[in-house]
């Protein structure tokens, strides 16, 4: 078996949980492009589930499998209750967020600040695992604030793994809880892929997926050869058809849908979501703006769909309008040539 075949046989590629982006409409769209990647919800707090509209937060389309629910919280009992809810809805995995550095999570004493209290994380993971037979995983940074040396991270992994959690998704940057915005925390702290690679060497029985700054297929293949998998964030949202390249080149998939075939599927989806739930078309079109990224006509596609706020909520044919406008412009270009 050559190296490429080895990568294919072990490829574990996931799409990162992204607040305000990876809702169920986005996930349905991404699933049309890639049957193999694992999808994640946005981070959903325990408070939102225990005191809010559970169905609105947890409902998803059957086509989205495999799908993981990412929880934000620090109370073991609350996390266990939310894990039980995840069971009822049929999620394939439940993930604990120990990586988000926003003010919102800091005020709730969860997210990246949990890394400073590994014993608390151990309690949380143990409670979650006691409430499900599905995999419970952890997403974290390589460090937080002054807690950023390798021995701290190594001890954090060793302690939390005592829960029985064996899969860790590591954003290969540290987090600064004060002085940097969430956006800056995704860009300013340097990427340290070598730290994640070292974790894999030191904990061979555990599974480590690497996250942060991975945008191209060569980068993906390089990291898949050194870790157990990768998690892709904003590149998958802003340039979603890269998932088709992943299907073709990493998973060796056949029968990949074209961009237009995917767009037509999203028309049917938008119609169904409006008829069943009253979902306005703009809730769906905002996620598909990048479908034609880098292609001729991409600006027309985006410009047409960006008019969604001006049309009726049931105007799901707006997606067809975007296709027609692109084709019309292309035809005019050909005539002019």
Catalytic annotation, residues:
100
**Distance between CA 10 and CA 13 in Å, rounded?**
10
Measured N-to-C along each axis, helices 150-161 and 193-202 cross at an angle, to the nearest 10 degrees, of: 50
Query: CA torsion 30→241→12→151, rounded to 10°?
Result: -100
Provide the 3-class DSSP secondary structure of residue 74.
coil
Question: CB of 64 within 8 A of CB of 114?
Answer: no
Element (H, E) at 50: helix 46-51
Q: How far apart are CA 319 and CA 329, in angstroms?
A: 16
| Distance in angstroms (rounded) separating the CA atoms of residues 106 and 329 | 49
SS3 (DSSP) at 71? strand
DSSP string, 129-197: HHT-SS-EEEEEEEEETTB-SHHHHHHHHHHHHTTT--EEEEEEEEE-SSSS-HHHHTTSSPP-HHHHH
Q: Residues near 278 by Cβ (< 8 Å), separated by ≥ 6?
A: 313
List the one residue out of 231, 220, 243 whose CA is nearest residue 291: 243
């Amino acid at each position: 078996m050559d190296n490429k075949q080895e990568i294919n046989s072990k490829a574990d590629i996931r799409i990162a949980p992204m607040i305000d982006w990876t809702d169920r409409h986005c996930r349905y769209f991404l699933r049309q492009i890639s049957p193999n990647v694992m999808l994640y919800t946005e981070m959903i707090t325990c408070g939102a589930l225990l005191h809010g509209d559970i169905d609105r937060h947890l409902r998803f389309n059957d086509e989205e499998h495999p799908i993981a629910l990412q929880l934000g919280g620090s109370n073991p009992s609350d996390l266990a209750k939310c894990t039980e809810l995840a069971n009822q809805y049929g999620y394939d995995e439940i993930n604990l967020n120990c990586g988000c550095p926003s003010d919102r999570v800091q005020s709730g004493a969860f997210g990246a600040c949990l890394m400073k209290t590994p014993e608390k994380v151990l309690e949380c993971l143990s409670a979650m695992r006691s409430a499900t037979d599905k995999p419970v995983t952890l997403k974290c940074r390589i460090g937080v604030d002054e807690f950023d040396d390798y021995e701290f991270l190594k001890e954090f992994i060793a302690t939390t793994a005592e829960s029985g959690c064996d899969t860790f998704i590591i954003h290969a940057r540290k987090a600064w809880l004060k002085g940097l915005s969430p956006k800056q925390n995704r860009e300013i702290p340097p990427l340290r892929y070598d730290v994640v690679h070292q974790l894999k060497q030191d904990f061979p029985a555990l599974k480590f997926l690497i996250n942060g700054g991975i945008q191209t297929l060569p980068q993906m293949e390089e990291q898949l050869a050194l870790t157990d998998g990768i998690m892709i964030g904003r590149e998958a949202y802003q340039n979603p058809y890269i998932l088709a390249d992943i299907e073709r080149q990493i998973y060796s998939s056949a029968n990949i849908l074209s961009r237009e075939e995917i767009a037509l599927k999203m028309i049917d989806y938008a119609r169904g979501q409006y008829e069943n739930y009253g979902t306005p078309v703009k809730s769906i079109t905002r996620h598909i703006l990048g479908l034609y990224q880098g292609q001729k006509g991409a600006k027309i596609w985006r410009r047409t769909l960006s008019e969604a706020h001006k049309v009726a909520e049931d105007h799901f044919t707006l997606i067809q309008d975007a296709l027609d406008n692109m084709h019309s412009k292309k035809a005019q270009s050909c005539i002019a040539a």
